[in-house]
Amino acid sequence: MSNKPEVWLRGPLDDITSLLQPVAHALLQACEEVNELMEEFPEELLWVKPAGLASPGFHLQHLSGVIDRLFTYAEGGQLDQRQLDALAAEGNQGENTISVADLVEKFNRQIDNALTQLSKVDENTLTEARGVGRAKLPSTVIGLYVHAAEHTMRHVGQLLVTVKILRAKYQM
């Protein structure tokens, strides 16, 4: 476990508007926790679903995907075919073996991309309306960013519990 204080206690991040600091802090905290949690995690347990829970592989795929999707909506976009295909594939190992390291690295890149996007946000646009999904359900720019952060942390918590159960069950 890290001896550093949680990210939100380390001060503001350069180039990110003060209203989005909590979003950036939560995403960075999630990144640190996922990297630490998945260090030396056994590949053979990546797709195991203890007690019917979602597998660690699903959570790792979903973490990257949900940030990508919600940040796309925040920018005013709709999902492209790549994003739709990734959504459909969440929870599936696929034909090729996806490694723990690959999934963690993809998550790290997604966090980097999210922070870059947050650094470019004009604070005056945060209350602008945005449509979510094909039905274009109502949200706002800030609503999407905040939901991305809280949804990410929710899945990090679920991943933590699942990984601890699997490590205890298989004594790894």
**Per-residue pLDDT at 2:** 65
170 backbone φψ class: left, alpha, beta (φ>0; ψ -120 to 50): alpha
* Confidence (pTM): 0.92
**Per-residue pLDDT at 111:** 98
Q: What confidence tier does 119 reach under pLDDT thresholds 50, 70, 90?
A: very high
Q: State both tokens at 5.
A: 């204080």
Residue 159: closest CA among 74, 20, 76, 49? 49
Is 110 inside any structural domain?
Answer: yes
Is 11 inside any structural domain?
Answer: no
Provide the domain count of the chain.
1
Range of the domain at 161: 20-170
Is 4 inside any structural domain?
Answer: no
Q: Which amino acid is at 92?
A: N
Q: State both tokens at 131.
A: 């449509």
Is 15 inside any structural domain?
Answer: no
Is 132 inside any structural domain?
Answer: yes
Is 158 inside any structural domain?
Answer: yes
Q: What angle do CA 134, 136, 137 make, to 5 degrees?
A: 120
Is 102 inside any structural domain?
Answer: yes
CATH code, 161: 1.20.120.450
| Residue-wise pLDDT tens digits, 49-95 | 999 999 999 999 999 999 999 999 999 999 989 998 888 888 777 65
Is 26 inside any structural domain?
Answer: yes
Contacts of 46 (CB under 8 A, 6+ apart): 55, 56, 57, 93, 98, 99, 100, 103
**Alpha carbon distances (Å) from 99 to 25, 57, 121:** 27, 9, 33
Residue 69: closest CA among 55, 60, 80, 59? 80
